Structure 1
Amino acid sequence: MLDTRTIQAQQRPTRTLWLIGTFASLIGFGQNALLVSLPILVMTTDIDLGTWSILIAIGSVLFLPSAPFWGKQSDKSGPRKVVSIGLLGLAVTFIGFALIIHALEQNWISTTTSILLLGTLRIIYGLTVSGLVPASQHWAIQTVGKENRLSAITSVSAALSVGRIGGPLLSVALVKLNPLLPFAFVGSSALFLVTLCLLQPSIPSTVSPKKIKSRALLGSIKNYITIGLCLCAAVGVLHYSLTPLLQSIPELTPEQWSDWVGYLLTTSAVATLSTQLFVVKKKLFSVNQMLTLGASLTLVGYGLFLVHNIATYLIAIIVLSSGNAVMAPAYTAKAMQHHSENQGQISGLIATGHTIGFGLAGLIMSLSAYLDVAPIGFSILLAGLMILLTFRQLKT
């Protein structure tokens, strides 16, 4: 029989993974809290939608240089410190948003001053929160061991999915009570989690981070970063295209378009989480099989969107989301196998590729409008490129 100390030792990694997942899920919740509150903020403040979009973009763009930096720091100083900084940045940003918007509504500050303060907070967000997911992945890998790298990465990805599913539901309920409650909830939750994070024992690295030039590291995993970039760009284009796609279905009324966008996004999040928990976590396929299967499902999913039927769209979003859920942890794990001493830095570089991909989606939408080409065609093209890169990488 197992003694009490043995049982506690076995349970500790699982508890730590749950806690790390909670840290990561708060990002997904925070992103959705801002999006849910945005329409009301536009109506209740003198800040227009264009300005809000710029403010949101400021934080997102800063992920590009800062995510790899925090990845390096995670390798050097340990992920707990980086996660704590990310959570603290999240707390400062969202509590600050609530205070500034309240001050603006009470006419304590001018609109110009509020925009400058909100912009400063978004800079803080971009420079600190960008390290939260890479460091969480690094911490999860440290917790369960490199031999269980795929399971660790999937745990963090699943936590993000949970935040993105629960975020809109809770945010809608909180907004009805007070438009600033979602911000206050995220900020106070982040402060509480900072305390829990600092109370966790730091896991010392058994291997010092290998000193490798960023250019050399980037060159060795560039194909995996490109696959991730293509995946996020294709998803971003689809999200932008959902309303035009629904408008092509004659039986839907304009009032139903918005509802069905929500239904499709929720279906996508549920399919993603289900695949992460019941396929990836169960290790039903090898990493190479996951890459091949994910790329194939992604291409099929985008292709189904060419059939203008709401039932087909639902099938398409399930197939596509399942493919993405299988593929993302697979190429992340493959990239980390090349340099096991630089897990945090690699996670940061892949996160940067994802950010670039979502940014590229906006440019693709502009290009599709200029060329008068259906945007979904670009998603299919990107999925095809992912398949080529995947098979090329598996051959090497």
Structure 2
Amino acid sequence: MGTRVSHRGLIVLFMAIFIVMMGFGIVLPVLQFYAREVGATPVQIGLLATSYAFMQFLFAPFWGALSDRIGRKPVFALGLLGYAVSFIIFGLSHQVWELFMARILGGVLSAATLPTAMAYIGDATGEEDRGSGMGLMGAAMGLGFTIGPGIGGILGRLSLALPFFVGAGLALFTLALSWGALPEPARRGCSADRPSRIEAIRLALGGPLALFYIVTLVGAFALAGLEATYALFAQDRLRLSASAGAGAIGIVFVVVGLVQAGILGGVVGRLINTWGEDRLVRGGLVLAAVGYLLIVLTNNIATLAIYAAIAGTGHSLMRPSIASLISIRTPAGQGLSIGIMDSFDSLGRVIGPAWGGWVYHAGISLPYASAGLLLLLTAGVSVAAGTRGLPVQAP
């Protein structure tokens, strides 16, 4: 069933997440420009993100539950393979339907990666250091997003398809690294008397953690709406060419990634121990809302990067806090419970891009204004629910 994982195992996982997220980040500055050149409309670009996220929504709980049964390592490896194959198909596409095929396949298989990695952290750490472990994984993601988009912006000036092949190569390298060096952990919450999958989902939706699944949904909705339109917004608001836009978006993601890596790597774990996950979630909601509303006012690349970094900081506080909280309080297996969380995240990524692409036609600032207002409303509901008996940790 596996062994207790040493710090070496966590370091290997950190490196694996860093490399795969760097590969994922490489394609971010060019994906929308590439799809537009193939012939996709803004609505279709939004639907590309929606199709990817919908597959993740459907399959994340399945992969999480499978990792509870057969182990984290093989499921994690399958997700990495899915990243690589989907990037290669996308980079070779010349028709819009081929883009959709690549994103759907990528959504199905890549859904195995992050929930399995978070469940791995839950297995490998105790309650006292789980927040730091989740923050460490978040820092790996942030560093990947810091370096990846900068590289993608440079590669995109050479060819808009090139970043997809580089991203695929990085995913395959990560697969080899993790398969050879990552130990299989001893899994928690996988005993025979745990709830069935259906019962665990029922407990999640009806129990005290339900609010945090909803917060995950709302946060993903807001972030996905931004990601689906951000490059178009920069190009249209700042009047940039496709190649210049790719470089500019690469710079923005580098700034956001640096801020997120600093927050996740050096701050979140200590804040969780001091203030508790619940308060960090609510503070993150408010901070992200402020960032989205400020994006509406941007008129140059510098302010765009600053406001996006504010929003990114809010998200950096929310996600590891929710993952840590669910990992500690779950009534079911870690893989299944984190898979449910990732499924809510994916559902937000289903709705968010479709909404963002649709309202973008009415006004290019509407995706960000509507997201900011929704996050503020969710923060208010979270505070009100906390005063009525939902668990709130004392500082």
Structure showing greater relative contact order (alpha-carbon pairs closer than 8 Å, 6 or more residues apart): 2
Cα deviation for residue 275 of structure 1 reads 1.0
**Residues 338 and 364 (structure 1), Cα distance of their counterparts in 2 relative to 1, 3 Å cut:** same
CA distance in 2, matches of 1:201, 1:383: 39
TM-score (norm 1): 0.77
The CA RMSD measured in Å over matched residues stands at 3.7
Contact 1:26–1:186 at 8 Å: present in 2 too? no
CA distance in 2, matches of 1:342, 1:123: 27
CA distance in 2, matches of 1:276, 1:137: 14
Which entry has the higher C-alpha Rg, 1 or 2? 1
Contact 2:286–2:314 at 8 Å: present in 1 too? yes
**Residues 293 and 57 (structure 1), Cα distance of their counterparts in 2 relative to 1, 3 Å cut:** closer
1:13 aligns with 2:3: no
Contact 1:295–1:390 at 8 Å: present in 2 too? no
1:3 alignment counterpart:
none
**Residues 178 and 254 (structure 1), Cα distance of their counterparts in 2 relative to 1, 3 Å cut:** closer
CA distance in 2, matches of 1:238, 1:26: 24
SS at match of 2:267: helix
1:299 aligns with 2:304: no
1:276 aligns with 2:267: no
TM-score (norm 2): 0.77
- Corresponding residue to 2:325 among 306, 319, 334: 334
CA distance in 2, matches of 1:122, 1:33: 16
- Corresponding residue to 2:372 among 365, 380, 391: 380
CA distance in 2, matches of 1:267, 1:186: 20
SS at match of 2:190: coil
**Residues 79 and 364 (structure 1), Cα distance of their counterparts in 2 relative to 1, 3 Å cut:** same
1:222 aligns with 2:235: no
**Residues 184 and 326 (structure 1), Cα distance of their counterparts in 2 relative to 1, 3 Å cut:** same
**Residues 305 and 94 (structure 1), Cα distance of their counterparts in 2 relative to 1, 3 Å cut:** closer
CA distance in 2, matches of 1:162, 1:175: 20
CA distance in 1, matches of 2:174, 2:362: 46
- Superposition pairs of residues 1-396 of structure 1, within 5 angstroms: 13-38=6-31, 39=33, 47-50=38-41, 57-95=50-88, 101=92, 120-175=101-156, 181-199=162-180, 200-209=182-191, 210-212=194-196, 213=199, 214-220=201-207, 221-239=209-227, 240=229, 258=245, 261-283=249-271, 285-305=275-295, 307=297, 315-339=306-330, 341-365=332-356, 366-367=358-359, 374-395=366-387, 396=390
Unaligned runs of 5+ in 2: 391-395
Contact 1:364–1:378 at 8 Å: present in 2 too? no
Contact 2:75–2:112 at 8 Å: present in 1 too? yes
**Structure 1, residues 274-294: CA drift from partner, whole Å, max 9, x if none?**
111221134454323322322
Aligned-residue sequence identity (percent) comes to: 21
Unaligned runs of 5+ in 1: 1-8, 105-110
Cα deviation for residue 227 of structure 1 reads 0.7
CA distance in 2, matches of 1:17, 1:274: 18
Cα deviation for residue 70 of structure 1 reads 0.8
Cα deviation for residue 136 of structure 1 reads 0.6
